[in-house]
Structure 1
Amino acid sequence: MRGNASKLDEQGKLRNGAATFFFKDGTLESAGDFLDGEKQGEWKYYLKNGKLKAVGKYEAGQLSGEWKWYRENGNLMQIGSFEAGTQIGLWKRFHPNGSVYDEGFYENGKKAGEWKVFSDKGLLVKTTHHRISKFEAGWVSEA
């Protein structure tokens, strides 16, 4: 999450401590903490309608740990983890109705192993197999 958060405060010094940023219309855009000018700890990002858009942590300015993204209606859209700003581990995306759209693993920021795609009714539609240097695909069924 980039946002428009500046590393420098109004006096031109590196930011430290709690910070909040707002859209031009005055609604809250994001909130979190800075340490030596870098985002640190939990940050929350908001949609213009005031609902939560994303929440997760930073370490030394890089995405870290579990992150969650939400739709305008508040339903979970995606969940996954980062290590030093790189995607790792299990990731899932969700259909608007809340059922799993796809799921699989990341290694060093790239899809790895088996990824599954599901219909909005939860039926397996496709399985793909990813290798770091090669991609193989196999269709399971059309739902």
Structure 2
Amino acid sequence: MKSKPGKQDETGKLREGPAEFFFKDGTLESAGSFAKGEKHGPWKYFLKNGKLKAAGAYELGQLHGEWKWYRENGKLMQAGAFEKGVQTGLWRRYHPTGALYDEGLYDRGKKTGEWKIFNDKGGVIKTTQHRKA
């Protein structure tokens, strides 16, 4: 499908089933499926160079489940989960080198518990405590 992203296709009908969207130069920008006009199920997003930018799933238009984002060099930038569009559970972000930058938990979209920040060699440089919302 070479159309613009949106809930409706070029005929005005709600999108259903597999879909692909492309950059102006014809390279793949994103691929996934729709249900009732909403993104649903696994989706992948790509950089203009063809490398993976992000991958995860939607549940009727909302981010849901494990998501991962990548840098242009292919290294993991961050990873975490969503429940109906809200950050939840363990989240990790990474230095450009691929070493862990920080990690901690989200509860209903708010940081909770202990969060740690690491230097690029893996040593803890800061720890913070967050209360539940």
Give the TM-score range, shorter chain. over 0.9
In structure 1, C-alpha distance between the alignment counterparts of 2:93 and 2:54, rounded to whole Å: 13
The aligned residue for residue 107 of structure 1 is 107
After TM superposition, where is structure 1 displaced by more than 4 Å over at least 4 residues in a row? none
- C-alpha deviations, 1:1-39, integer Å up to 9, x for none? xxx621101100000010011112221110000001010
2:119 maps to 1:119? yes
The aligned residue for residue 64 of structure 2 is 64
Aligned residue-pair number? 130
The aligned residue for residue 89 of structure 1 is 89
1:98 deviates by 1.2
Amino acid at match of 1:61: G
Structure 1, gaps ≥5 residues long? 134-143
1:99 deviates by 1.0
Deviating more after overlay: 120-129 vs 20-29: 20-29
- Give the match's secondary structure for 2:40: strand
- C-alpha deviations, 1:69-105, integer Å up to 9, x for none? 0010111110000000000000000111111000000
Amino acid at match of 2:128: T
2:31 maps to 1:31? yes
- Give the match's secondary structure for 1:132: coil
In structure 2, C-alpha distance between the alignment counterparts of 1:7 and 1:52, rounded to whole Å: 23
In structure 2, C-alpha distance between the alignment counterparts of 1:26 and 1:114, rounded to whole Å: 45
2:72 maps to 1:76? no
TM norm structure 2: 0.95
Amino acid at match of 1:117: I
Over aligned residue pairs, what C-alpha RMSD do you find? 1.0
Amino acid at match of 1:84: K
The aligned residue for residue 55 of structure 1 is 55
In structure 1, C-alpha distance between the alignment counterparts of 2:25 and 2:113, rounded to whole Å: 44
1:132 deviates by 3.4
- Give the match's secondary structure for 1:117: strand
- Give the match's secondary structure for 2:64: strand
1:131 deviates by 1.2
Q: Share of identical aligned residues, percent? A: 68
In structure 2, C-alpha distance between the alignment counterparts of 1:47 and 1:110, rounded to whole Å: 29
